[in-house]
Amino acid sequence: MSEKPAVCVRIEDDLLAAAMGEAASSAAKRVERHLTTCVSCRREFQEYRAVDGAVTTLRKEPPPVGSLTQSRERLETRLADLRNRLLIYRIFPSSLGHILIARSELGISLVEYLERGTSLRASRLSHEPSVETVEGGADLEAIYRELLEYLEGRRRRLDWPLDLRLARSDFQRTVLQATAEIPYGAVIPYAGIAQEVGKASATRAVAQALRWNPLPIVIPCHRVIGSSGALTGYAGSKIDIKQRLLSVEGVPTAKKAGVLGITPQTMYILYPGDREYCLPTCPSLHTRRPSPLTRFASREDAESVGLSPCTACRPDLHPISH
């Protein structure tokens, strides 16, 4: 077998590139000149062109329609299932410790204080068989920034779309929805929420539902307190966090006889169903049936939700001095 001439070996790569239409113009010209004098390279070039042509016919070949359609249908089904199960999460540092934020396609589904570590293993998500988790989501950064603004008192609302599917029951979901309505700077007793959801005697069940609130801060269960004004529980035993969240909103708290609670004498009062807010000393309150009261840290907080000052006790003329 005869050896290829050196000139043909040197031009081999350019020849192939030219046959595939990928050679730079200088290389293509060099190949063109060489092909006018070299029969064997010309044949090689034509063979490469023929291979390229055969590949072009393959490229145009359509996929088998039946199997493609079936594959697409199967994919749609599996994607729908994944969409239902998938949660994108990230873990962020905050002044309240590490917080995990997770979202589904429907909205934010979990805000969790991590106690036992800074990874997913410390989260309740690692024990949720119904969900699949994946870390990431640049959009969660924006959510986190809003949360920080809220914790620093620079934001009063967290208007995120929420996904309550991690709630444990319809009752818990109803309780969470009622709790989400408590205004900024206000507190209400557990009994008030029980009344709100139409189960006035279910105070303990309400407390239990809020203990497992999957969206603390966003659904402000920290604004729900005991009938005595005691802060009672928060996400287990994190009562210090509850106090910090309330103080961000300007709700005054103090320890009395070793129990941490709000200071009711320094807060404005809303009787259920009223559109006017009162001073705690309002004479009208003494004539009415005892009922769970909503209390506001400031007149601005009360008026920001459309309430007016009571025309009897006139909190606008006699504001509480803090």
Q: Which of 10, 29, 33, 74 is in the footprint of other proteins by CB under 8 A?
A: 74
C-beta closer to other proteins: residue 66 or 198: 66
- The answer to whether residue 61 forms part of the interface with other proteins (CB under 8 A) is yes
Q: What minimum distance in Å lies between the beta carbon of 17 and other proteins? A: 8
- The answer to whether residue 180 forms part of the interface with other proteins (CB under 8 A) is no
Q: What minimum distance in Å lies between the beta carbon of 131 and other proteins? A: 12
Identify which of 262, 255, 190, 267 has the alpha carbon closest to the alpha carbon of residue 221.
190
C-beta closer to other proteins: residue 53 or 306: 53
Structure tokens at 98: 């590490």
Q: 133: exposed, middle or buried (C-beta count within 10 Å: 0-12, 13-18, 19+)? A: middle
CA distance 120 to 291: 43
Q: Which stretch binds other proteins (CB under 8 A): 48-56, 213-221, 259-267, 281-289?
A: 48-56
Q: How many other CB atoms sit within 10 Å of the CB of residue 196?
A: 20
Q: What minimum distance in Å lies between the beta carbon of 89 and other proteins? A: 11
- The answer to whether residue 83 forms part of the interface with other proteins (CB under 8 A) is yes
Residues 6+ apart with CB under 8 A from 132: 82, 85, 86, 87
- The answer to whether residue 47 forms part of the interface with other proteins (CB under 8 A) is yes
For residue 206, give the H/E element and its range: helix 203-211
Q: Which of 1, 6, 58, 317 is in the footprint of other proteins by CB under 8 A?
A: 58
C-beta closer to other proteins: residue 101 or 235: 101
- Whether the CA torsion 225, 231, 236, 242 is positive or negative: it is positive
DSSP string covering 252-288: -EEEETTEEEE-GGGSEEE-TT-SEEE-TT-HHHHTS
278 in catalytic set: no
For residue 2, the 8-state DSSP code is: P
Residues 136-175 that bind other proteins (CB under 8 A): 136-139
Q: What minimum distance in Å lies between the beta carbon of 22 and other proteins? A: 8
- The answer to whether residue 181 forms part of the interface with other proteins (CB under 8 A) is no
Q: Which stretch binds other proteins (CB under 8 A): 115-123, 130-138, 169-177, 271-279?
A: 130-138
Count residues near other proteins (CB under 8 A). Answer: 42
Given 38, 41, 221, 313, the catalytic residue: 221
Structure tokens at 117: 């570590």
Q: What minimum distance in Å lies between the beta carbon of 2 and other proteins? A: 16
Structure tokens at 176: 């969470």
**HSE toward the beta carbon, residue 223, CA cutoff 13 A:** 26
DSSP string covering 295-317: EES-HHHHHTTT-EE-TTT-TTT
Q: Which stretch binds other proteins (CB under 8 A): 14-22, 186-194, 299-307, 311-319?
A: 14-22
Report the interface residues with other proteins, using CB under 8 A: 13, 16-17, 20, 39, 43-44, 46-48, 50-52, 54-55, 57-59, 61, 63-64, 67-68, 70-72, 74-76, 78-79, 82-83, 86, 88, 105, 132, 134, 136-139
Catalytic residues: 221
